[in-house]
Amino acid sequence: MNENLILRLTVEDLLIREAHLLDSWQLAEWLTLYTNDAHYYVPPNDVDGDTADPDTSLFYVMDDRKRMEERVVRLGKVGAHSEHPRSKVRHLVTNVQAARENDIVRARASFIVSRAKDITHDLFVGHYLYDLVERDGALKISKKTCVLDMEALRPHARISIIL
Amino acid sequence: MDARIISEPSQNKFLVPRKAFTDQAVFEREYAEIFNKCWLYLGHASELPEPGSFLTRKVARRPILFNRDRHGEFHALFNACPHRGAMVCRERHGKSPAFMCMYHGWTFGSDGHLMTLPGAAGYPKDFKTDPQKQMVHVPRLDRIGDFFFLNFSHDGEDLATYLADAGDYLNLVSEHSESGMAVTGGTQEYAIRGNWKLLAENSVDGYHAACTHSTYLEYLKNANGALGATPLEGGGIDLNNGHAVIEYSAPWGRPVASWVPLWGEEGKTEIDGIYGKLQKRLGEKRADRLAHKNRNMIIFPNLVVNDIMAITVRTFFPTAPDYLEVNAWSLAPVEESDWLRKYRLFNFTEFLGPGGFATPDDVEAIEKCQQGYAVGGDAKYNDISKGLAREGEPSFDDEMQMRAFWTEWDRRLSAAED
């Protein structure tokens, strides 16, 4: 099989695993897919999410590894009211593309994330931008940017789950 | 109207009818008596940086075109074509000397005057200058510093009178910078399935923090060096006309200008420098207050300015009794250094907004209130009495600021009946 195809399948495998961990609320395991210097971003709707800079523009989410860990700790508590009881989550990940760029693998994918809780059911639609690096022979995520292809977070109100 | 508050301070009693959150007639009356008569926040001058800049925005359900003409003058126009009513400008922001309606091609100058129309021969000669054929200016537009407000009513008090003591608090926000404050870019735009007054209350509610935001407070304790030794304490202040603020000290860092250990020695030098300049510019007392106190302010009916670990300007409008739309911006000094700006934005998103560690739980509380009101029956009132029984000044976690809001709400809605 050609190398590009193998790369894409390897990345897809990782993204499918990530989706499964998020859907089943195995958040501590989810963190193991990320490097120790990883970042997780969700830019707002009125900027170009592919190029927006979290150092100069307000985002919805701009987590470094430390805050990702704290996010997971928080979501495990009863006091994280928005996710207690937990919502039903389903990540659909598709249209995966991947290419090597020196030591980094850059990947893109489309997503629909469904969140259902009580009387609300919301869909988050957008695309992922991933940076992946080799660590101990396996691909790890060093950056994940979730660009929402939506005009606003309406009626969603919150991104209390991990996209 | 039977949705009146019950205020009996001598009995330590302040009750708000739950009908105020659910009733369609109350909602319609709020639009007639509050949103169509009060001064409403439109935007910040920094969002229109140069002549020709424009942005479109909904204010109280109406599409508005906020822009600057080639001389730099600010205009607020109803964004609808005088011909058939189509929205003229369909972009969110940009720069343009003129605006062409996509329907029949009528084209307007940045002050709203009709410049050209295709097929002019089919109209009388003076048609183009007919006042009815121009884009309509919002009846009143005024500013305090770089904060622009509009009013859909032709008469009533001027902006300065309306803002009462809140005006000086807005000035205090502007005084963070010697060269001007600016919106950082990136708007948080979301909605809540709840009544708009629940968010007004929540924005200045010091009482809910310990319970609703327990996970956030625990997180802060774990974030090594993010907290100083300053205790969380202060009081509520009634700013008149329904506006109120809680002003308090807090252990978190403020880019202007309270240092915390996390920022290191280099950060301390920079913060000391900022503070020194503040003292020179504003005097000892005002500089101390600006730098070391936090403020959560509600300007009646729907502008919230929180000057805390970052500055957020937030406005919200109902589209139904049980649904509101929020826009929130971040405001910062133009001259701020890169690392402080980065810290400010990082801090903002930690607590505030749809992806923060706190706002989602506020949303949950608001939505659960709205759902709870469906019980109806004998559970008719909310209790907003905390602090009435206290001797001396109101505490930051009392409910005085909510009573100020509700008293004005009640005054405006009931006056309409007389």
Write out the DSSP string of B243-303: EEEEEEE-SB-BTTTB--GGGHHHHHHHHHHHHHHHHHHH-HHHHHHHHH-EEEEEETTTE
Residue A29, exposed/middle/buried by CB under 10 A (0-12, 13-18, 19+)? middle
Choosing among A40, A42, A58, A82, which should be mutated to test the B contact, i.e. which has the most B CBs within 10 A?
A: A58
Give the pLDDT confidence score for residue B224 in this predicted structure.
Answer: 67
Percent of chain B having pLDDT more than 70?
99
Contacts of A118 in chain B (CB under 8 A): 371
Contacts of B47 in chain A (CB under 8 A): none
Whether residue B418 is predicted with pLDDT greater than 60 in this model: the reply is: no
Q: CB distance B355–A47 less than 8 Å?
A: no
Whether residue B299 is predicted with pLDDT greater than 90 in this model: the reply is: yes
Residue B269, exposed/middle/buried by CB under 10 A (0-12, 13-18, 19+)? exposed
Q: Residue B257: pLDDT band by 50, 70, 90 thresholds?
A: very high
Structural element, H or E, at residue B140? strand B140-144
Strand ranges of the sheet holding B40-44, from the earlier edge strand across to the other edge: B40-44, B147-151, B140-144
Q: CB distance A80–B189 less than 8 Å?
A: no
A142-158 pLDDT, tens per residue? 999 999 999 999 999 99
Q: What is the mean pLDDT of chain A?
A: 96
Domains of chain B, CATH where assigned? 40-151 (2.102.10.10), 181-415 (3.90.380.10)
Contacts of A82 in chain B (CB under 8 A): 360-361, 363-364
Using CA atoms, how far apart are residues A6 and A1, in angstroms rounded to an integer?
7
Contacts of A66 (CB under 8 A, 6+ apart): B223
Strand ranges of the sheet holding B6-8, from the earlier edge strand across to the other edge: B6-8, B13-17, B381-383
Choosing among A73, A158, A160, which should be mutated to test the B contact, i.e. which has the most B CBs within 10 A?
A: A158
Using CA atoms, how far apart are residues B332 and A55, in angstroms rounded to an integer?
13
Residue A102: count of CB within 10 angstroms of its CB: 5
Whether residue B1 is predicted with pLDDT greater than 60 in this model: the reply is: no
Alpha carbon B167 to its chain centroid, in Å, reads 13
Complex ipTM value: 0.95
Domains of chain A, CATH where assigned? 3-148 (3.10.450.50)
Helix, strand, coil content of chain B in percent (nearest 5): 35, 30, 35
Q: Residue B251: pLDDT band by 50, 70, 90 thresholds?
A: confident
Helix, strand, coil content of chain A in percent (nearest 5): 25, 40, 35
Q: Residue B337: pLDDT band by 50, 70, 90 thresholds?
A: very high
- In angstroms, the separation between the Cα of residue B50 and the nearest Cα of chain A is 19
Give the pLDDT confidence score for residue B344 in this predicted structure.
Answer: 92
Q: CB distance B223–A70 less than 8 Å?
A: yes
Averaged pLDDT for residues B254-266? 90
pTM of structure:
0.95
Q: CB distance A58–B186 less than 8 Å?
A: yes
Give the pLDDT confidence score for residue A119 in this predicted structure.
Answer: 86
State which residue of chain A sits closest to B55, comparing Cα positions: A46
State which residue of chain A sits closest to B330, comparing Cα positions: A58
Contacts of A1 (CB under 8 A, 6+ apart): none
